[in-house]
Amino acid sequence: MAKKDMIERIKEVMKDPQRIRNVATSSHVHHGKTTLTDNLMAGAGMIAEELAGKVMYTWFDEQERKRELTIYGANVSMVHEYEGKDYLINLVDTPGHVDFGGDVTRAMRAVDGTIVLVCAVEGIMPQTETVFRQALRERVKPVLFINKVDRVIRELNLTPEKMQERFTNIIREVNALIMKYAEPQFAKDWIVNVANGTVAFGSAYKRWAISIPYMQKTGITFKDIINLVNEGKDDELAKLAPLHKVVLDMIIKHLPSPAEAQRYRLERIWKGDMNSDIAKQMMACDARGHLAAIVTKMVPDPHVGVVATARLFSGKVYQGQNVYLVTKGKQEKIQQVAVYKGIQRIQVNEITAGNIAAIVGIPDAFTGETLCEADYVIPPFEEIKHLFEPVVTKAIEPKDPRDLEKVVNFLRQVSKEDPTLKVYINQETGEYLVSGLGELHIEAKVERPLKEKLGLEVITSPPIVVYRETVRERSPVVEGKSANKHNKFYITVEPLEEGVYQGILSGKIEKGEVKKKEAWKAFAELGMDKEDAKGVKYVEETNVFIDATKGIQYLNEAMELILDAFRQICSEGPLAKEPLSRVKVKLVDAVLHEDAVHRGPAQVIPAVKHAIAEAMRKANPTLLEPIQTIRIDTPEETLGNVIDLIQMKRGQIIDMKTEEGASVVQAKLPVAEMFGFEASLKSATQGRGFYSLIDVTFEKIPEDLKDSTIAKIRERKGLS
């Protein structure tokens, strides 16, 4: 098909939301997402068939080719004919490595469905569970592709019965994850099923796939497939059962169009009134409505500056249009709109609701920004929040001080592109601290680009662990007095209820100012005392501020300053200037000067900070350290070495089992002990063991390590 034809078909179909599918690939690392994407593009006539699975079209960064894994993800738009009609598939190829999981979270906001790949040999792995959590939290519907079936046939020599048993187990585990993480109103309808065609089997590398509906339509049997694979006739099989045909048919038939998905996704991902006009326009995916879009990706481009990827929920975007950035509170003019073809962009006149657009001309946008019209400002979309917090930090500085400005500009830009990379400037030490999801995350997205793309020599510190400060008891009431002695604040602190803490992590409780009066019910339902719940004023990360006072004069006028002090101490606690976590701060009384001049920032903020810090010191404070729950796969004969390694690293074994001659160990290890763990594991298992991340939590540091750890942090930060 001529290139012009494909572009014309895209332009035509993109105007009909019923014939659009916004889909992400997702899986554990190395389960075949990019190879699958290559094949789908080849099937759509965008690359040569013989190159599919070899060219890795969506690996546009040199690092991805060196490491042989997706780091940045990429968007591809393609047209597929199904039952005589053209359909537009906007596909987002996402990373599988846990360090780049933030890209998966952001992709899930842009799409309505996901094709989850599971390796037929490895089965369900930790990152498989993570991608289900990411998708279902955004109300993204899954279908399943069991990949690398050729390896099961060739390498494991399983009988058809044993093969069927293996596939049945994978499907059962997938459905258990869907039932666990999907909301009840979706779970039963979204479980995958071989009979209805929401499950396909195949080999992305060998370019073939099969599903029950395709078998029924063509008469091909599973026995035919086994015979052809064993005879090495993969090319013949790829002609009989082409992967792109089976998978794209499954996507179109079983994953929702934006017109369908936006009706149930909107209340989950948008903060506004569901009865408002703009909500009705978004739920109808109305191209004639007001503009409502969310930026899900920012990518630097040497020719045009920065390209924003945005999902349009209503209205349209076009060249020359003025758009309003809701969070930034500013207007910018669009210079160009385009659809994606991997690293290429195909410029179009306009892009309408239901599509994923490439936009040039909004460099001040960031990932998660809401776009609308300047004269019709809408409430923002919900924050795109990753499942795991950054737990590894490195200090970065240029070798040549003259390069400082370039380094600072780069760090600012990279934190806009990837919000899971946190950049913090320590004013006292002058250090530039970058926190990421892992060592590879910082190396691949910060260190290497600085060196290889900008040509800057930088000095990086060894990895630093960021702890959290918390309390174990309720403090007595502590007085904070302003410097002029005219204002007094009486504060207590205590541990935050576990239910409320989990509610903040899960998103049931929103962060920021608590404005709605009925919001207190959520706090009470999650275990907080009702009187306390009614006084909640602010949620900062996983800490809560409560106004428990009654009838204090001038308090409303001073409240913003009090909350400013609360926010400041939440970022730097009294033990070692580490962030606070799980702390409930209560203002129980206050005395304020009648003249506003005598209760300004210089009087209120230090007094409140001092009272909170002093109350924490009297509430048995401690540190929380980040803990990784991991799965280790190792040959049985090296299991003893692995157990020794875990114990040496202050680890705790949760579970052990044997699967087909290999041992699987689930363990919890402190992040502080995880640096260099991969090399130690390879050494302990003769290179045959590997580990995967399951979860990251924060737990109290052992008492015998608390004081020495605090001392080391204070020394590093130059504190007394």
Return residue ranges of the chain for CATH 3.30.70.240: 623-716
**pLDDT given for residue 174 in this prediction:** 94
Domain 623-716 fold is Alpha-Beta Plaits (3.30.70)
Average pLDDT of the chain to the nearest whole number: 86
Residue 556 pLDDT class (50, 70, 90 cuts):
confident
The pLDDT tens digits of the residues spanning 558-608 come to 899 999 999 999 989 999 999 999 999 999 999 888 888 888 889 899 999
Measured in degrees and rounded to the nearest 5, phi and psi for residue 160 equal -55, -35
pLDDT score at 111: 94
pLDDT at 73 (0 to 100): 67
Q: Which CATH number fits domain 469-619: 3.30.500.10, 3.30.230.10, 3.90.550.10, 3.30.70.20?
A: 3.30.230.10
Average pLDDT over residues 408-427: 80
CA atoms 9, 12, 17, 19: torsion sign: negative
pLDDT at 310: 93
400: left (phi over 0), alpha (psi -120 to 50) or beta: beta
Reported as a pLDDT band with limits 50, 70 and 90, residue 311 is very high
Q: Is the pTM of this model over 0.85?
A: no
| pLDDT the model gives residue 428 | 58
List every span in the chain annotated with CATH 3.30.70.870: 393-465
Q: Which CATH number fits domain 267-372: 2.40.30.10, 3.30.420.40, 3.90.550.10, 3.30.450.20?
A: 2.40.30.10
Question: Residue 237's pLDDT is what?
Answer: 87
Q: Which of 354, 339, 192 is nearest to 260 (CA)?
A: 354
Question: By C-alpha distance, which of 470, 505, 295, 499 is closest to 389?
Answer: 505
Cross-strand partners of 358: 309, 338
Which of these, 604, 601, 608, lies nearest to 586 by C-alpha position? 608
Which pLDDT band holds residue 372 (cuts at 50, 70, 90)?
Answer: very high
The pLDDT value given to residue 123: 86
pLDDT higher than threshold 60 for residue 533: yes
**Range(s) within the chain of domains with CATH label 3.40.50.300:** 3-256
Give the pLDDT score at 1. 39
Q: What is the pLDDT of residues 472-516, one digit of tens each?
A: 999 999 999 988 888 999 999 999 999 999 988 877 888 888 877
Q: How confident is the model at residue 470 (pLDDT cuts 50, 70, 90)?
A: very high
Classify domain 393-465 by CATH number: 3.30.70.870
146: nearest Cα among 22, 32, 222: 32
Q: Residues spanned by CATH 3.30.230.10 within the chain?
A: 469-619
Q: How confident is the model at residue 543 (pLDDT cuts 50, 70, 90)?
A: very high
Chain segment 646-667, per-residue pLDDT in tens: 999 999 999 988 876 788 899 9
pLDDT for 55 equals 47
The H helix count followed by the E strand count for the chain is: 25, 33
CATH number for domain 3-256, candidates 3.30.70.2860, 3.40.50.300, 2.30.40.10, 3.90.1170.50: 3.40.50.300
* pLDDT band, residue 46 (cuts 50/70/90): low
All CATH 2.40.30.10 domain ranges of the chain, comma separated, are 267-372
Mean pLDDT (whole number) for 92-101: 73
- Lowest-confidence region among 104-108, 132-136, 435-439: 435-439
- Residues 542-552 have a mean pLDDT of 91
